[in-house]
Amino acid sequence: MSSFPSSSDRDKQWGVGPGRSFQQYEPSSFAEDLATRAPHNVTPGLSHHDWSDPSGKRSIDRIIQSEDYERSHGKVESLSDSQALSNDSGNEDDPEEKHRESKRPRMAISCSECRRRKIKCDRNIPCMACVRRGMPGSCRWENAKVEPSPQPFALKTQVDDLQRQLESLQETLKTLPAEVVKAVTMAQQPSNSNTSPSKQGIEHQDPREAFPRDTQISKGGVSSNGNNHTSSRLSANALNATSSATRSNAPPPKGLSAFYDDAAENAAVVLESIAFNPQTNEADAGNDSMISHEYWRGNMLTPISGAALAGSAKDDPPKLRHQLEQQNQEYTSALTSIVAPPWDITLDRFNPVLMQQGGSEPDTPQHLMRHKLDAMHSIFENLPSLSQSYYLAEQYKNIIHWRSRILQ
Amino acid sequence: MSSFPSSSDRDKQWGVGPGRSFQQYEPSSFAEDLATRAPHNVTPGLSHHDWSDPSGKRSIDRIIQSEDYERSHGKVESLSDSQALSNDSGNEDDPEEKHRESKRPRMAISCSECRRRKIKCDRNIPCMACVRRGMPGSCRWENAKVEPSPQPFALKTQVDDLQRQLESLQETLKTLPAEVVKAVTMAQQPSNSNTSPSKQGIEHQDPREAFPRDTQISKGGVSSNGNNHTSSRLSANALNATSSATRSNAPPPKGLSAFYDDAAENAAVVLESIAFNPQTNEADAGNDSMISHEYWRGNMLTPISGAALAGSAKDDPPKLRHQLEQQNQEYTSALTSIVAPPWDITLDRFNPVLMQQGGSEPDTPQHLMRHKLDAMHSIFENLPSLSQSYYLAEQYKNIIHWRSRILQ
DNA sequence: GCGCATTTATCGCTATGTGG
DNA sequence: CCACATAGCGATAAATGCGC
Ligand SMILES: [Zn+2]
Ligand SMILES: [Zn+2]
Ligand SMILES: [Zn+2]
Ligand SMILES: [Zn+2]
């Protein structure tokens, strides 16, 4: 750490380029460097010159990348994120901070993944790079800091901390009424604490067993994988299995019915608040941070755009190409099966295809209405999760907004 | 160590290229290196060439990025220096040791078993290789590799796992009635260990990296690393299941307590307004950056790629095969329904699926409203997690924003 | 079980873009 | 024109997994 051999820097002559010579690694650049990499969050521009402390640079940057860092460091905070996106409002800036520093001089356009990997991004949404890599779903665009590459290690303290929390929570849970506890644990399956990777798990043997399959899968979505969280909601569902047959199993826990109702209410409230006061929720949401953000981050599905596909195919081996095509086809069809099916868009009007089978009746307006509603039902039925509904709504909103801008 | 090919690597100076000369790995890095790595430690010092930062360090730094860091950030460096490398002190010399660390750490994606045997791994969690071998239980993804660093570090997988458990529990808790939750959190909340940290710490990186492809899919309950805490979500499935899989026009849900209806109605109105009257919300929309988007980062489900499926099926018993296919189908459709944009981008204009229905409907009879509400109920019943919805919404908002930029 | 040819990922450093 | 950021090349470390 001692200061770096500054003088030496200069020596490094490496062929200077024609034109201007970059001496990038000068002191200042150092700071820059940090800023850049660290990006994780920091990004926002603040100049972190401050801590330019030369020493340890490298490691430090990496380290710093945590958001908290910035937070604590000064400002940044969500602002950057939100801001970036929100753009519209634009008005109220942070009153307080005022730092003249421009936050983000240059907006990013490459997808996050490409930025992280420092590779070329074709700027499509599932960009080719991501598609080729087999994870079109991880192709996102966030106008924000770049995250550092994943690392296999973590701080032990983290582990300890988590462990502690977990225990604490579990402990607390014990104090709850029996029924509740039961429901909860049931839902959440004994989290064996074990941190250690001791195997356990699924036993082996019958391969079929290995695949948990059952259940959740079809879940309308989301939840899915191991994450439970989603799921949990032990409530409502059980209660009104309204929607048709259930997949069997899991009989609703009984004594909780009273709670369920409440849960439903809560859900409604939540939805409402999200819809109307996103920022308000911010707080809540924020705090629930219990969840790991990691969850959904990476494998979202996304249909590959035709262009991207075509492009990639160009020089890829036929095998890969075929694979991509097939993959895409799957995505697309799946997508269609749910979103599109009930509608016959070509009619340019609401026309629930599915419903039709039900017996085509005359075209009475009345009936049309009826169809409409039924179709809507179909949709809603396929929007099992709040995420979905919220997403659709949001999406729609965005589209409108976007369009108005484009068409200007 | 010895295995390391290379120390000599360094020699390979690859001649400087014509055109621009990169001397990348040399001089300049020096300074930098020195600052950073060297200090750190350990590294033995190999002649500069070797600066190979030995490794540990490198990766370690990365690791550290956790929040905890910042906390201490005040001095991060110290940490890094001493801590991380602490080991070094003293023995830093052995060339051997140090070597084991790599300059460019990469996360593994094949399961441990496959890696060990050097055979192909389909990257699913019980990977086919393991399944076929009859020991799906032994299929784990431990990023084993080097786990050298003594003290302060731990495998990230551990952290992930813990985190997951914690989240799961908390999520579940959230579904409980407010009062209960309050009691619980209160009891344990004492801001124990800054909770916040956890969230972030882990965040970057995620599994997706690890399993580029669709992997987790079958995971169902298995947490990624082997632990089996099954995922909970006891009931949700039931409900949701129906939807995607079945497209039957199930009759509208009904029969909840009156009060539920009220709540739902409110929510329904909200949702409706969002969907049908986007502009109203527009303002809000912008700000979104709500919640820690980080939340869901990471474990989204992804359908099994056709290729993978095909491959596995190849020599598997038909029964299993069928199961897999079905499972996949369900996953695909479910997930797609969430992610799939309701518009048809290729048309360069949208096909507002939702819009239509909403838009018109001026004279909605009373009973129509009723249906709508019923539909809303369906949604609420499946309300999964706030985090998810936020994440998704955010995600898409980003996309829209991005598009608007690209399109100018 | 494993040598080793391939494929893939990481990252120093340069080229560019952009707001001020 | 400059300071500061992003884009992304291309060398090269590492992981994968064929084939014996
Ligand atoms: Zn990209
Ligand atoms: Zn991408
Ligand atoms: Zn495997
Ligand atoms: Zn395996």
Query: Which chain A residues have a beta carbon less than 8 Å from that of B204?
Result: 40, 65, 147-148, 150
**Is A158 or B289 the better-scoring residue by pLDDT?**
A158
Q: Centre a 10 Å sphere on the Cβ of residue B364 and count the other Cβ atoms it contains.
A: 14
The answer to whether residue A347 neighbours chain B at the CB level (below 8 Å) is no
| Phi, psi dihedrals of residue A155, rounded to the nearest 5° | -80, 140
pLDDT in tens, A71-98: 333 333 332 333 333 333 333 333 333 3
Cβ contacts of residue A312 below 8 Å, gap of 6+? A128, A131, A132, A320, A321, A324
What pTM was computed for the model? 0.41
Q: How far is the CA of A3 from the C1' of C14 (A)?
A: 25
Q: A77 with A44: CB under 8 angstroms?
A: no
pLDDT of B3 > 70? The answer is no
Answer yes or no: is the ipTM higher than 0.90: no
Best B203, B338, B357, B367 member to test A by mutation, with max A CBs in 10 Å, is: B338
Q: Which of A8-17, B64-73, B142-151 has the lowest mean pLDDT?
A: A8-17
The answer to whether residue A238 neighbours chain B at the CB level (below 8 Å) is yes
The predicted pLDDT at position A328 comes to 56
Ion ligand 4 contact residues with beta carbon within 5 A = B 111, 113, 127, 130, 139
Q: How far is the CA of A250 from the C1' of D17 (A)?
A: 42
Mind listing the pLDDT tens digit of every residue in chain A (408 residues)? 333 333 333 333 333 333 333 333 333 333 333 333 333 333 333 233 333 333 333 333 333 333 333 333 333 333 233 333 333 333 333 333 333 344 556 667 788 889 889 999 887 767 888 878 877 667 777 655 666 666 666 666 667 777 777 777 666 655 555 555 555 455 444 433 333 333 333 333 332 222 222 222 222 222 223 322 222 222 222 222 222 222 223 333 333 333 333 333 433 343 333 333 333 222 233 322 222 223 333 333 444 555 555 555 455 666 666 666 665 555 444 434 333 323 333 333 333 333 333 343 444 444 444 443 443 344 334 333 444 444 444 433 433 333 333 333
Helices of type H across A118-241: 128-133, 156-174, 178-188, 207-210, 236-239
The answer to whether residue A357 neighbours chain B at the CB level (below 8 Å) is no
Q: Would you place residue B129 in the very low, low, confident or very high pLDDT band (cuts 50, 70, 90)?
A: confident
Q: B53 with B99: CB under 8 angstroms?
A: no
Nearest nt (C1') from A24 Cα: C13
The predicted pLDDT at position A267 comes to 37
- Exposed e or buried b per residue across B304-340, where buried means at least 16 C-beta atoms within 10 angstroms of its C-beta: bbbbbbeebbeebeeebbebbeebbbbbbbbbbbbbb
The predicted pLDDT at position A189 comes to 44
Q: How far apart (Å, rounded) are the C-alpha atoms in residues B239 and B117?
A: 42
Q: Are A305 and B152 an interchain contact pair (Cβ–Cβ within 8 Å)?
A: no
Q: How far apart (Å, rounded) are the C-alpha atoms in residues B353 and A343?
A: 8
Helix (H) or strand (E) holding B184: helix B178-188
The predicted pLDDT at position B141 comes to 73
pLDDT of B182 > 70? The answer is no
Angular region, B213: left φ>0, alpha ψ -120 to 50, beta rest = beta
The answer to whether residue B313 neighbours chain A at the CB level (below 8 Å) is no
CA of residue B123 to ligand 4 center, whole Å: 7
Residues 75-94 of B with CB within 7 A of strand D: none
Nearest nt (C1') from A109 Cα: D6
Closest Cβ–Cβ partner in A159, A180, A211 for B327:
A211
